Structure 1
Amino acid sequence: MATSISYGLEQARTQLPHLVAEAHAGTQSIITKHGKPYAAIVPLQDAALAANRGAGVLDLRGSGVGLWGNDAAAAVDALRDEWEAP
């Protein structure tokens, strides 16, 4: 994980070339607005990793279509009844 430095919005605006150079060197810059985190300038490698982080889960989207039939609630109720039966 890269190191992180926080900057106020106005300070970040005036030091943008420095922040970009720091990102290239591996440092994350968190930009705050009224003291709250608002944006970040991150190394390109970190951005690429974040962009690919959920891809595997998204590939599963739609894979359960039809698994529960037309009434998913009824299917879940049936499974619960099966587990709760003595």
Structure 2
Amino acid sequence: MSDTAQYGLEQARAQLPLIASEAAAGYSTVITRHGKPVAVVVPVEQWREEQARSLKQGGVLALRGSGRSLWPQGAATAVAKLREEWA
């Protein structure tokens, strides 16, 4: 991934036309927030190939657990408390 272009979020916002042109030319771009990757802009054909591969490997079930690292420890307890407040 070292030759993949990388932009901070604010810079990516300003460079969106360039990033879109690069994607159309077949290049991927990583967008970061505070130095950590948060999104990738990829060529549509690459995305379609990945979607087709995902469907062949189990569709939506292939994504199971993929968001686990997005939730902090104890998130389930916090959500349960919020639900109790509205019950």
Q: How does 1:1-80 map to 2 (within 5 A)?
A: 4-58=4-58
Deviation at 1:27, TM superposition (A): 0.7
Q: Which structure 2 residue ranges, 5 or more long, are not aligned? A: 62-87
Larger radius of gyration: 1
Return structure 1 stretches of 4+ with deviation > 6 angstroms: none
Q: Which structure 1 residue ranges, 5 or more long, are not aligned? A: 62-86
Higher helix share: 2
38-47 vs 3-12, greater mean Cα deviation: 3-12
| TM score, norm. by length of structure 2 | 0.60
Superposed CA RMSD: 1.8
| TM score, norm. by length of structure 1 | 0.61
Figure out how many residues of one structure are paired with residues of the other and give that number: 58
Deviation at 1:39, TM superposition (A): 0.5
Look up the SS of the partner of 2:26 in the other structure. Answer: coil
